[in-house]
Structure 1
Amino acid sequence: MTTILTITLNPTVDFATTAPHVLPGPKLRCSEAEFDPGGGGINVARAVRMLGGEATTLIAIGGPTGAQLLELLAFEGGSTVAIQGPGETRRSVSVIDESNGKQYRFVLPGPVWDEQDVERALVAVDRAASAGSLVVLSGSQPPGVAKDFPSILASHVDGRNARLVVDTSGPALKHLAETPREAVYLLRMNVEEAEDLAGRQLPAVADTTAFARELVSGGVAQLIVVARGTDGSVLVGGDEAWHAVPPEVEVVSAVGAGDSFVGGFALWAARGEPVEECLRTGVAAAAAAVTSEATRLCDKILTEELRSETKLTKV
């Protein structure tokens, strides 16, 4: 099976708790905190392992929070490659208001990087990525990292004869869309990000599919996935397009749904499954993730159940 390497430049220690009510002003008495390793690539690797696969996660760490992150990852098991990052590894906080079930998420920016930090990360990727591996870049970029980092990474991955999966946002996503790189195997985005790139609304599956076809034909990536929330996800690759919709589930927490999708997709792709089945698995894993509290991600048994009930349609 193809090996999976995930990259997290801006990891975090996720701090999750609940409060009877979330109101401004008074002290809020919270429940016992739960700490989890977080950041896009870390969560993708965790999702892969939860679904029965193996993945190595490459992370940049710094300070006492970075040490805590390594402890959390060691407790969960799995392979980790750590490089020295600047400053202190960030934290993020999520609080659920018990009175109404609403979740409040506070995400810090992380330490500022310079060119030497970026170069050190690229050298680490070159050493960790084996020929033919599936490399996943997921999550936000730290302050100071240029918007063209995914494009630069694509060149490094291509040189290793590996495949690159990118799940990013903001200026990095826009730059990647404007600077096509055939080395990108899969580019994932949500429908809001797709609409921002398209400069128009994409209200229906047909609209999303048409825009994804534009990106594929323009050489942005071999495969484009657009997540449409409860309406599932659309995948376009070559002359084919697919739409996968999971069964309705109770949403407990939205944390980790996208990372669970990428983890499920990547694991099935590493096993050599057809892309439409990779899509089905990703959608099921995302649906499973939203039923769990905090950052527990996708339960394997539930994902398998939802996978069998996920509707897959050729568009």
Structure 2
Amino acid sequence: MLVPPPILTVTLNPTVDISLEVDRLKDEGKNRARVRSVQGGGGGINVARCVGRLGGSALALHTYGREVGQRLNRLLDEEGLTHQGIEIGSDTREAVVVAETYIWHSYHLVPPGPELSVFEQDRCADAIVSAAQRFPYLVLTGSVPPGLPDDFCARIVRRLDPSRTRVVLDIAGAQLREVLNVNVFAIRLDRREAAGLIGRPIECFADAQAANDLLLDAGSTGHAITTVAALGAVYSNTFFHHRISGPIPPSPARSDACAGDSLVGAFTYRLVTDADCLRACEYGVAAAAATVLRPGTEIFEPATVDALRRAVRTRRIDRRVPEHGFVQPVVAAEGP
């Protein structure tokens, strides 16, 4: 008998990602490009891909529309990714990554995507809730289509039983602000969203701790993760902050297009394998570091993740004492 995957990912605004390479971009004439890859993308699809790359299983639930949507489905089928589509009336968006190979600098060009009708919005919400009730973990991630109500994600979370489905959120803008009034299992913030919440740039671990404090003190989640670019991330729970220092990569970074999705995918995968949240987040930091070594929208190699994981270092800070209080290395796993 087939065992259903334990993770459901949702992609409301997927893409067909076209990755191109040029030696050097010029502002006149034609830039002759090489096609590096063409694949389905969007936050939840990328997370499901990461879970599968690590040996786990996930179902990617996503919208699709018209000719580009059919191409998206075909690409996912050819890749062997387990997915389920929700049809809409407008074309799925296409995105482009252009990499200059002489310095490996990447440009990620992403259009807003199609606007959903009210009927399509309701159909998507019902499909997500119906599916999520069968899964221990739901990952809501990625951008949303233009015109979607600000509380769309919050309404979905309110309709779910938290004792049956743990929700992991990696969303932005108004969707994030609205969901702060609803308690979910875990929230991941990138630097931009975290800066918007605390009103200053996220430049160090202390800034990330402040963002996590805001989430925890508001009762939005019991597990907060804020990333600090190459420095790593801070994972916080009710009692402790954990400063997770990212490993020093063996080669220069090429693209950060899927780094955040890699962290979330590896984090959720490790939770399913019974790791505690801290260890899962450490693994996620290693996965993100491994992904930035890859060009375009390509994700990590598992062997690279395992190698970098051994170089990850964590320091624990008690949330109940001032910043200058006791700080110690973490040497033993902690419960979630």
With normalisation by structure 2, the TM-score equals 0.88
Aligned to 1:263: 265
Pair 1:110 & 2:113 matched? yes
Cα distance, 1:200 vs. partner? 2.9
Confirm whether residue 298 of structure 1 aligns to residue 306 of structure 2.
no
- Percent identity among equivalent residues? 31
State whether residues 18 and 35 of structure 2, in contact with CA within 8 Å, keep that contact through their aligned partners in structure 1.
no
Q: What residue is the counterpart of 1:211 in the other structure?
A: 211
The aligned counterpart of 1:231 is 231
**2:137 matches 1:134:** yes
1:11 alignment counterpart:
14
CA contact (8 A) 1:96 1:104 kept: yes
Indicate the SS of the match to 1:158.
coil
- Contact (CA 8 Å) 2:97, 2:297: kept in 1 or not? no
Mean alpha-carbon deviation: is it higher for 112-121 or for 43-52? Answer: 112-121
The whole-number CA distance in structure 2 between the counterparts of 1:9 and 1:217 is 29
Tell me how far apart the structure 2 counterparts of residues 199 and 288 of structure 1 sit (CA, whole Å): 30
74-83 vs 123-132, which moves further = 123-132
Structure 1 residue 201: Cα displacement: 4.0
Distance 1:35 1:132 in 2: 30
> Is this contact kept in 1: 2:9–2:58, CA < 8 A?
yes
Residue 33 of structure 1 and its aligned partner are, at CA, apart by 4.6
Matches within 5 A, 1:79-118: 79-118=82-121
Partner Cα separation in structure 2 for residue 199 and residue 78 of structure 1: 39
Instruction: Determine the C-alpha separation between the residues in 2 that align with 1:19 and 1:131.
Output: 45
How far the C-alpha of 1:100 sits from its partner, in A, is 2.8
Deviation of the 1:309 alpha carbon: 1.5
Q: Secondary structure at the match of 1:18?
A: strand
1:22 aligns with 2:25: yes
Task: Report deviation, 1:160.
Answer: 7.7
Tell me how far 1:145 sits from its aligned partner: 0.8
Question: Counting helix residues as a fraction of each chain, which structure ranks higher?
Answer: 1
8 A Cα contact 1:56 1:81, kept in partner = yes
Report the CA distance between 1:131 and its aligned residue: 4.4
CA distance 1:49–1:192, change in 2 (3 Å)? same
When residues 192 and 126 of structure 1 are mapped into structure 2, their CA distance, relative to the original with a 3 A threshold, is closer
Of 176, 198, 201 in structure 1, the residue corresponding to residue 179 of structure 2 is 176
Superposition deviation, residue 113 in structure 1: 1.1
CA contact (8 A) 2:143 2:171 kept: yes
1:265 and 1:279 in contact (8 A); partners too: yes
Secondary structure of 2:149's match? coil
Paired residue total:
312
Q: Which runs of 5+ in 1 are unaligned?
A: none
Separation (CA, whole Å) in 2 of partners of 1:50 and 1:141: 25
| 2:245 is aligned with 1:245 | yes
Three-state SS of the structure 2 residue aligned to 1:46 is helix
Change (3 A) 1:294 1:207: closer
Contact 1:51 1:298 in 2 (8 A): no
Q: Secondary structure at the match of 1:95?
A: strand
3-state SS of 2:221 partner:
coil
Q: Give the TM-score taking structure 1 as reference length.
A: 0.94
More relative contact order, 1 or 2 (CA 8 Å, 6+ apart): 1
Aligned pair in 2 of structure 1 residues 31, 313: CA closer, same or farther (>3 Å)? same
When residues 279 and 264 of structure 1 are mapped into structure 2, their CA distance, relative to the original with a 3 A threshold, is same
**1:172-210: CA deviation from partner (whole Å, max 9, x where unpaired):** 222223xx212x111111123212111134443123213
State the secondary structure of the residue aligned to 2:35.
coil
User: Contact between 2:47 and 2:261, CA under 8 Å: does it hold in 1?
Assistant: yes
Alignment RMSD (CA, Å): 1.7
The residue aligned with 2:323 is none
